[in-house]
Amino acid sequence: MTVASIIALTVLLLAVTVLALVLRPGRASTLEFYLAGRRVGVATNACAICGDYFSAASFLGVAAAVYVSGLDGIWYATGFAAGFVPVLLFVAAPLRRFGEFSIPDFLGRRLGSGRIRLIAVCVVQLIILSYLVPQAVGSGITWELLVGEGVLGLTPYATGVVLSTVAITALVVLGGMRGTTWTQAVQFLLLLAAFIWLTVVVLGSGFSYPDAVAELDSEPLANPAFAGGEWGLATESNRLDTAEPATFGEPGGRYGPFGQLTLMVTLVMGTAGLPHIMNRYFTSPTGTAARMTTVWVLGFAGLFYTLAVLLGTASRSLIAKSVESHPWLAELTVDGVLRVPEHAPLVLGRIFGGEAGLGFIAIGALIAVMSTIAGLLLASAASWGHDVYERHINPSASQRQAVWAGRGAVIVVAVFSAALALGLRPDSLTALFPSIVATMVTWAFALAGSALAPVFMLAIWWRGTTSRGAGAGMITGAVTAIGMFTSATLTGDNGVGEVLLAPTIVAAPLATLVTVVVSLCTPTPKDVDRMWLRLHGTAADRRAARLARLTIAGVGGVKGVKEDRSER
Amino acid sequence: MRDTGAPSPLNDDDGQWAAVIGDDYDMPADVDASFRTVRKVAVGHFAVFLCVVVGVPVLTLTVDWWSGGRLIGGMSPSFVMAAFGLYVFFFALAAAAATLSNGVEERMLGAQEREPVDESDDS
Amino acid sequence: MSRGSLPLAGAMILAWGLVYLVTQRVPDPPLEVGVTMLIGVALTVALTIGYPSALRGPRKPRPPRQPGRHGRTIAAVGRSMPLRSGLTTEAAERAVALLHPLLGGDAVAITDQERVLAFVGPGSDHHTVGDAPQTESASRVLARGKTSVVRSKAKLGCPEQDCPLRSAVLAPLSIGKRVVGTLKVYRLDEVPPPRELVEGLAGILSLHLELAELDRERKLAVDARLDALRAQINPHFLFNTLNTIASKARTDPEEARRLLLRLSDFFRYAVRQDGQLVEFGQEYYFVRTYVSLEQARYGDRLNVRYDIDPQVLTANVPVLTVQPLVENAVKHGIADKVDGGTVLLKARVDPLTRTTSIRVADDGVGISQEVLDRLTTRDGAANGGVGLSNISQRLEVLYGERYRLDIQSNDGGGTVVELQIPLR
């Protein structure tokens, strides 16, 4: 590890520590367990959303996808970032202004129906599970690769799953949203710091991005494959033009003519339906702030993914050159190409930072997993504790009881997902690792984009939406998405399978159509105007802004508010 | 309960405080108007977004230069777009849309920034 | 948008097609992509910028400039119009500097009725700017309004003994028949400067002063109309609103308080606006305030629908023009209709033709020809209503020929008022 990279690392870690101290929260109460008291600043909230959003799929997966398929691998990152554009345009501000606890609660209130709330809870739980399980699997595999030892007689894989689940569950149960808002923000800053450090040392070593692309482009793209009992490099076939081999800098390495489009649609639509991301919006102080938060998120995401793509390219180019000087690479690579592409950022960290560098990046990966799990568990808790327990099982519950119900739900969901992850343990670990994590995350996006997002946007922007319409739409979207996905596993991922694997492009329009048709056939609720005042009016925003100004105006005012709160 | 605290601006002039709060009220027709204007902004920006996002794959399939040409070193226009361009575009689009929507709501709902009330009392 | 954007889009498609043909099809090998893009983009930009002026039609050719030494000929004085903005010290100084070389005199001065505004040439040490005119002849000219020629130092009557000025021509500057000042040209010898020249120039300057006065009067007239509009905020409206508030004070005090606040907002806006133009957003706020007050009175009978482009909110519109249109729609359209109706306010900006268009439509009873005539002809109030003539007169001063105000109304079928003004 060179002096320069030590200095860079130290400076970055110091910066993160300072930022963490600046963002440190105060005390929390009931409303704040789920929603951080709705007083979270724009930048902090943006960081927290990024922490929630950037899972292992973003931290390791994007660089790995670029490493494997070159240009076509970038589209994952683009889709993840693009997803926030519709969120900003259509969802952020009205969602915050309506101001409920969670997506099911929002739909239930907006459409005036308890049944729609329960349907939404089911969909939300499905999405959370399909997002949660791959994260647990990922952390199990990371533990297995990095530590390789189990404790208490468990296998290394099971140790990873159990340990990460227990740690995060404890954090969520004790901390609540306010606690996690802060930790999520700090965790994101750490992730970003890891990438910035890696980029700085890579560029400092004389790496030229454009030249590397040119160099990689000069020969066909080949990746390790296990064939005939031994490892060898196999050239990737070009899915756009079968006559030519695929290359790093040109399309065709991963997607056929429509694959890229269907993936984009899935990721773009999906983000607006992710419960743990949408719940974050309820913590913004105003609708206007929710909008600005999204702008910040897009800025952060753009920076993060630009670096991820650069690092993917760098590892493709540099690892092959480093095999001779770093003998430990031999067992990880085949002719200079990594067997497990997810190792790319980790290996890069070790090449440039020694064991410390590897540790830093590995911690980054684990943090990415943990912060996402925390966000998901919290969303699940809000959904069970608030939407089911408080609204349906025990409407007269005290706030204390509701919070405990939520905590109980967190534990149950965590145990359930850990059990699923243990059961799903891939047999041939190396061959399945990239696909199972990425695929299951895509599945969560597809489900969110097909079942939740269309109904969500219609409920916000179309007065005529009725609860029956929304229910029919959600069920249609979910069933179509699940059906297409199941049939995709049977057909494989070529041709039609490309569309089946990313079902949003079919399921979302279908769900929209069903919602509209059924809504037109049922009577519109009468108090839509009142709903509209809450959804699209800024009266509450203006009041909040004035309150904030008054609070800032005099220290006495601040004191008054705090005392007022502590008495409650 | 409030009186236990030290005298604060919140408690001092309760009358004016209430008057200020009461003014934060939207008329349904006004909300409907700003709703439709904001919807115009959102749909307009979304159309641009869609054109670009769909345009990139379409260019890949139709124009050879898009993936065959070289802009910087070995990077084709398609690569540059995917690696940097789109993120910059998303951010610019988001910033523009957010600023415009916030501006629209500020102008179409609530009072225009009002001068302090006591100014007219003095004169 | 209807008038502007479609043809432009067509033109663009045509241009790109042409570029494609010329660069990709005709030459062999075809031009490089970069160059082609450059040509295409340049063409697009040129089209977009040139389009609005193309719509406005060709510019009238400017009057050809006279060759020769500018600022030295009498024609130059006529063109540069130093006194166009009125008889002020600054303007007078410019005028004197311009006139001094071509009057054939040694010293030139301009005075108003009380003091010297500018003096150039020998003698400026004691004929200082700001003093009262010292010579007797000056007061004579001011009193009689006739040119006077002085041929001797004695008659000049300068109190200063060493004054080098010997002869002078003094010509009055007048607006109409009122003498407002003098133009004086002195010489150091006994031969006075040519009288006709001085008189002629004084005539030109007088004309300029007259124009300046006209300008000022016109602006005053607009302000007066605006004041009239503000002052005539119709008492019926005020009484009705106060009645509504009074009746709500018992049943719904919260609502009454809200209305009272709105009423005060309404008057504050109407009274406090200075300047001719405001952002549409401000004017829209005024309309909203007005409508919410009227809605309190009419209840469900009065519906309003706004359809407003985001861009229009920051466009400038003449102050107090939109609300009167809405008020007319409420008063003459909805008020007399038993089951009420809807007023639609639609505002658009066409960035290509650079126009703002505002349209106020209602589905009320419609305005009869008779009332319409009264509204459009009589200045000020017609049955407490706001005269459309007031608006159109102000628009004419602000925009000249470049605005449109159309009213269509048929009995029983509602009214549509459409206003188009240049965007600026």
Q: Does residue B51 belong to the interface with chain A, where contact is any CB pair within 8 Å?
A: no
According to the model, what pLDDT value does residue B47 have? 93
Distance CA C11, CA C1 (A): 16
Out of A299, A306, A543, whose CB is closest to B21? A543
Output the CA–CA distances (angstroms, integers) from residue C86 to C102, C177, C368, C371, C405, in the order listed.
22, 16, 46, 42, 33
Instruction: Indicate yes or no: CB of B102 within 8 angstroms of CB of A295.
Output: no
At A214-273, the pLDDT tens digits run: 888 777 777 777 666 666 777 777 766 777 777 777 777 677 777 778 888 888 888 888
Instruction: Indicate yes or no: CB of B25 within 8 angstroms of CB of C258.
Output: yes
Instruction: Indicate yes or no: CB of B40 within 8 angstroms of CB of C309.
Output: yes
Instruction: Indicate yes or no: CB of B107 within 8 angstroms of CB of C305.
Output: no
At A406-429, the pLDDT tens digits run: 788 888 888 888 888 887 765 444
Q: Does residue B36 belong to the interface with chain A, where contact is any CB pair within 8 Å?
A: no
Q: Which residue has the higher pLDDT, C194 or A315?
A: A315
Residue A193: pLDDT band with limits 50, 70, 90: confident
Q: Average pLDDT for residues A382-390, to the nearest whole number?
A: 78
According to the model, what pLDDT value does residue A302 have? 93
According to the model, what pLDDT value does residue A567 have? 38
Mean pLDDT is lowest, of A456-465, B80-89, C86-95, C396-405, for C86-95
Instruction: Indicate yes or no: CB of B75 within 8 angstroms of CB of A210.
Output: yes
CA of B72: which chain A residue's CA is closest?
A210
Q: Which residue has the higher pLDDT, A23 or C175?
A: C175
Q: Which residue has the higher pLDDT, A8 or A396?
A: A396
Residues C381 and C308 in one domain: yes
Chain B neighbors of A251, CB-CB under 8 A: 60, 67, 78
Chain C neighbors of B100, CB-CB under 8 A: 310
Out of A215, A260, A302, whose CB is closest to B87? A302
- Whether pLDDT at A557 is above 50: no
Domain that holds residue C41: 5-56
CA of C254: which chain B residue's CA is closest?
B22
- Whether pLDDT at A516 is above 90: yes
Q: Evaluate whether residue C221 is within a structural domain.
A: no
State the smallest CA–CA distance between residue B18 and chain A in angstroms: 11
Q: Average pLDDT for residues A341-345, to the nearest whole number?
A: 80
Residue C112: pLDDT band with limits 50, 70, 90: confident
Residues C256 and C395 in one domain: yes
Q: Average pLDDT for residues A39-54, to the nearest whole number?
A: 79
According to the model, what pLDDT value does residue C19 have? 86
Q: Average pLDDT for residues C133-151, to the nearest whole number?
A: 77
4-43 of B, contacting C, C-beta below 8 A: 19, 22-23, 25, 27, 29-30, 32-33, 36-37, 40-41
Residue A565: pLDDT band with limits 50, 70, 90: very low
Out of B31, B53, B76, whose CB is closest to A536? B31
Most confident of A147-156, A428-437, C103-112: C103-112
Residues C413 and C267 in one domain: yes
Distance CA A187, CA A193 (A): 10
Instruction: Indicate yes or no: CB of A71 within 8 angstroms of CB of B84.
Output: no
Out of B22, B33, B114, whose CB is closest to C308? B33
At A296-334, the pLDDT tens digits run: 999 999 999 999 999 988 988 888 888 778 777 777 777
According to the model, what pLDDT value does residue A147 have? 67
Q: Average pLDDT for residues C207-217, to the nearest whole number?
A: 77
According to the model, what pLDDT value does residue B12 have? 37
Where among C166, C182, C211 does a domain terminate? C211
According to the model, what pLDDT value does residue C1 have? 40
Residues C241 and C153 in one domain: no
Q: Which residue has the higher pLDDT, C359 or C340?
A: C359
According to the model, what pLDDT value does residue C338 have? 84
Q: Report how many Cβ contacts below 8 Å link chain A to chain B.
A: 182
At B2-11, the pLDDT tens digits run: 333 333 333 3
According to the model, what pLDDT value does residue A438 have? 65
Chain C neighbors of B108, CB-CB under 8 A: 281, 284, 308, 313
At C281-319, the pLDDT tens digits run: 889 998 998 998 888 888 888 999 999 999 899 888 988
Distance CA A95, CA A99 (A): 6
CB neighbour list of residue C398: distance below 8 Å, 6 or more residues apart: C222, C276, C277, C318, C421
- Whether pLDDT at A1 is above 50: no
Q: Which residue has the higher pLDDT, C324 or A37?
A: C324
State the average pLDDT for chain A: 78
Instruction: Indicate yes or no: CB of C308 within 8 angstroms of CB of B41.
Output: no
Q: Does residue B112 belong to the interface with chain A, where contact is any CB pair within 8 Å?
A: no
Q: Does residue B120 belong to the interface with chain C, where contact is any CB pair within 8 Å?
A: yes
Chain C neighbors of B114, CB-CB under 8 A: 265, 268
- Whether pLDDT at C171 is above 60: yes
Residues C10 and C128 in one domain: no
Residues C265 and C407 in one domain: yes
* Amino acid identity for residue A38 in this structure: R
Out of A74, A288, A561, whose CB is closest to B82? A74
Other residues' Cβ atoms within 10 Å of the Cβ of residue B81 = 24
Q: Which residue has the tokens 């490493």?
A: A67
Out of A75, A85, A533, whose CB is closest to B82? A75
Chains that touch C (3 or more CB pairs under 8 A): B
Residues C78 and C24 in one domain: no
Chains that touch B (3 or more CB pairs under 8 A): A, C
Instruction: Indicate yes or no: CB of C33 within 8 angstroms of CB of B112.
Output: no
Q: Does residue A207 belong to the interface with chain B, where contact is any CB pair within 8 Å?
A: no
Mean pLDDT is lowest, of A29-33, A73-77, C319-323, for A29-33
Q: Do chains A and B touch (3 or more CB pairs under 8 A)?
A: yes
Residues C245 and C377 in one domain: yes
DSSP strand pairing (C341-350 vs C302-308):
parallel
CA of B64: which chain A residue's CA is closest?
A250
How far is it between the farthest Cα atoms of chain B? Answer: 76
According to the model, what pLDDT value does residue A22 have? 59
What share of chain C has pLDDT > 90, as a percent? 8
Out of A88, A538, A561, whose CB is closest to B97? A88
Q: Average pLDDT for residues B66-89, to the nearest whole number?
A: 84
Residues C195 and C335 in one domain: no
According to the model, what pLDDT value does residue C60 have? 45
A471 dihedral zone (left: phi>0; alpha: psi -120 to 50; beta): alpha
Out of A74, A86, A556, whose CB is closest to B83? A74
536-565 of A, contacting B, C-beta below 8 A: 536-540, 542-543, 546, 550, 553-554, 556-557, 559-561, 563-564
Q: What residue ranges do the domains of chain B occupy?
A: 60-109
Chain A neighbors of B21, CB-CB under 8 A: 543, 546
Q: Are C343 and C360 in contact (CB under 8 A)?
A: yes
Q: Does residue B68 belong to the interface with chain C, where contact is any CB pair within 8 Å?
A: no
Q: Evaluate whether residue C198 is within a structural domain.
A: yes
Q: Do chains A and C touch (3 or more CB pairs under 8 A)?
A: no
Nearest CA-CA partner of C285 in B112, A538, A401:
B112
Mean pLDDT is lowest, of A39-43, A332-336, A394-398, A505-509, for A39-43
Q: Does residue B116 belong to the interface with chain A, where contact is any CB pair within 8 Å?
A: no
Chains that touch A (3 or more CB pairs under 8 A): B
Helices and strands counted in chain A (H then E): 25, 4
CB neighbour list of residue A527: distance below 8 Å, 6 or more residues apart: A112
- Measured at the CA of C199, the angle between CA C195 and CA C205, to 5 degrees, comes to 150
Distance CA B25, CA C257 (A): 12
According to the model, what pLDDT value does residue B97 have? 93
Instruction: Indicate yes or no: CB of C265 within 8 angstroms of CB of B40.
Output: no
Distance CA C424, CA C417 (A): 21
At C366-392, the pLDDT tens digits run: 877 777 777 666 544 444 455 677 788
According to the model, what pLDDT value does residue A30 have? 42
Residue A499: pLDDT band with limits 50, 70, 90: low
CA of C305: which chain B residue's CA is closest?
B29
CA of C304: which chain B residue's CA is closest?
B29
- Please report, for the domain that includes residue C129, its CATH number: 3.30.450.40
Q: Evaluate whether residue C64 is within a structural domain.
A: no
Chain C neighbors of B36, CB-CB under 8 A: 306-308
Instruction: Indicate yes or no: CB of C258 within 8 angstroms of CB of B111.
Output: no
Q: Evaluate whether residue C399 is within a structural domain.
A: yes
Residue A77: pLDDT band with limits 50, 70, 90: confident
Q: Evaluate whether residue C226 is within a structural domain.
A: no
Residues C298 and C201 in one domain: no
What share of chain A has pLDDT > 90, as a percent? 12
Q: How many domains does chain C have?
A: 3
According to the model, what pLDDT value does residue B39 have? 93
CB neighbour list of residue C17: distance below 8 Å, 6 or more residues apart: none
What share of chain B has pLDDT > 70, as a percent? 71
Cβ-in-10-Å burial (0-12, 13-18, 19+) of A231 comes to middle
- Whether pLDDT at A510 is above 90: yes
Residues C375 and C417 in one domain: yes
Q: Are A404 and A367 in contact (CB under 8 A)?
A: no
Coil, helix or strand for A247? coil
Q: How many residues does chain C have?
A: 424
Out of C268, C284, C305, whose CB is closest to B108? C284
Residues C150 and C256 in one domain: no
Q: Average pLDDT for residues C190-213, to the nearest whole number?
A: 80
Give ipTM to 2 decimals. 0.84
Q: Does residue B82 belong to the interface with chain A, where contact is any CB pair within 8 Å?
A: yes
